[in-house]
Chain A
Amino acid sequence: MANVYSEQLSDQKLGPKDETISFLLNYSKALSVINCERLQLESILN
């Protein structure tokens, strides 16, 4: 039987790193939008 030379696809599902998710959740918590008359101001709280 012929050998299969193609790369085996990993069983592991593709997904973002935990750090990326954590960054996004922290970014969301830190971001606040302030409505100032017609302007929308963004601020990031550390």
Chain B
Amino acid sequence: MEQLQDSQLVRNYIAGNEQALEALIYRHKQRVYSFIYSKVLDRDVTEDIFQDTFIKVIRTLKRGRYNEEGKFLPWVMRISHNLVIDHFRRNTRMPKFEERDDFSIFSVLGDSSLNAERKMIKAQVEEDVKELINELPSDQRDVLVMRIYKDMSFKEIAEQTDVSINTALGRMRYALINLRKLVEKHNIILTE
């Protein structure tokens, strides 16, 4: 089998001799693989293109569409060359980023939604804060709730509680100072 020329091996393969294909692949695998690798410089991509090249070779030969005028190896190289071009065209539209020590694509593409653990922590923190707020004096608690939870302006808060804006601001300030004291007193860690 090793002594036969490519053209004879191709004819044998078309006639149904599967070993002829094996001989052809083993004879040319290194040339074809090295050619693809020299273009794409990536082992995995090279492996894929090498495989696609020979799938195309197999299908064309089995369909009886191989033109015997050309030589086998240049024909295979042309197929792999076209597949390399397809690969680069596809990658221009959809660039591939690899994980490296100095760059991770996930540092750019973050998943903003919280995972189950973070959701639980967030719910726990919110619950702790609500309990702390309930320990505040009522005038400070009202201002803080209106400002933070109801998103009201200090002008609106002042009108609602019938005090001046400065008083509302002062109550808010003391509400926050007292909240910090309560956090320290209860030794609560409010972080996600």
Contacts and interface: CB of A to CB of B under 8 A. Distances in A.
Contacts of A13: 30, 34
A24 B54 contact: yes
> Range of interface residues on chain B?
20 to 34
Interface residues of A, number: 18
Nearest to A17: B47
A21 B29 contact: yes
Interface SS majority for chain B: helix
Interface SS majority for chain A: mixed
B29 A31 contact: no
A40 B63 contact: yes
B126 interface: no
Interface in B22-64: 22, 25-26, 29-30, 33-34, 37, 46-47, 50-51, 54-55, 58-59, 62-64
Contacts of A17: 47
A46 interface: no
B143 interface: no
